[in-house]
Structures are given as structure tokens and as C-alpha cells.
């Protein structure tokens, strides 16, 4: 069995293909990384909303809810907004906390192509009576 002969024009073909495809693969990997960071921030905002609702259930105050959301960790205070609403009457009062967070796109190259995203999560809990 004989090997096919390579012509002179075939030399370096793999290098050219790599040079053409490598930037595309790199941008795709960076986009996947950005999606992963966005998913992490969704979990953090959901946790912050639950913590804020838990704190507001014992003391229905916007400052208490905001402090609880910030203490849940991982979120920049300048990008976090907290809204508080109390509904119901007497024994059936509920506190609803809405946490909005503007997620920065931090990944190089992809961050310039995609604008910052906004995540909004709502948590509701029953207001606890003071002891």
C-alpha cells in the first residue's frame, strides 16, 4: 500500500485552519463562561430575596430588608434595589420583597457585545407577630 503524496501546496493547511477557527472557539467559550456567571447571579439574587423576605417578616421595614439582602453575600450594593410591600389584614398579613439586580457582563470580549442584564426576583412570607 502506498501513501498518497502530499503536494507542496498542502503544507501548513492545519495551521491555517487552526488560525481561522481558534478565535471563534475562544469567543464561544467566553460566552459559555458569561452564561455561567449569569446563572450564578440568578441564584444569588433569589437567595437575597428570600433573606430579605425572612427579615422583613419579623420586622417589616425596607432598611431591614435591604440590609438582609446585602448580607446574603456576593452582590454589589450599588447595583441592588429592594422593594417592600405588605398585603392582607391582621393575622393574614404577608410581606412581599422584590429584589432587582443589574448584572454586569464581566467577561472580556463578550461583555462588550452584550449589555448588562437585569434580574428581578420576588419572595413572599407571612408576617410574624411580635412575641
Q: What is the pLDDT along the chain (131 residues), one digit of tens a residue?
A: 666 666 566 678 888 888 889 999 998 998 899 889 999 999 999 999 999 999 999 998 999 999 999 999 889 999 999 999 998 877 788 999 999 999 988 888 777 778 889 999 999 999 987 76
Residue 9: the pLDDT is 64
**Dihedral, CA atoms, 96, 41, 38, 109, nearest 10 degrees?**
130
- Under DSSP, the state recorded for 87 is E
Show the cell assigned to 64: 431591614
Cα distances (Å, whole numbers) of residue 105 to 24, 75, 108: 19, 14, 8
Work out the number of other CB atoms within 10 angstroms of the CB of residue 55. Answer: 22
pTM, two decimals, is: 0.80
Amino acid at each position: 500500500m502506498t501513501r498518497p503524496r502530499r503536494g507542496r501546496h498542502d503544507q501548513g493547511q492545519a495551521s491555517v485552519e487552526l488560525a481561522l477557527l481558534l478565535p471563534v472557539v475562544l469567543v464561544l467559550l467566553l460566552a459559555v463562561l458569561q452564561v455561567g456567571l449569569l446563572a450564578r447571579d440568578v441564584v444569588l439574587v433569589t437567595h437575597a430575596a428570600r433573606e430579605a423576605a425572612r427579615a422583613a417578616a419579623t420586622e417589616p421595614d425596607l432598611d431591614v430588608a435591604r440590609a438582609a439582602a446585602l448580607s446574603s453575600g456576593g452582590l454589589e450594593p450599588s447595583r441592588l434595589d429592594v422593594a417592600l410591600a405588605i398585603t392582607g389584614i391582621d393575622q393574614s398579613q404577608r410581606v412581599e420583597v422584590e429584589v432587582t439586580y443589574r448584572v454586569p457582563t464581566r467577561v472580556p470580549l463578550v461583555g462588550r457585545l452584550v449589555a448588562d442584564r437585569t434580574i428581578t426576583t420576588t419572595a413572599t412570607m407571612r408576617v410574624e407577630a411580635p412575641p
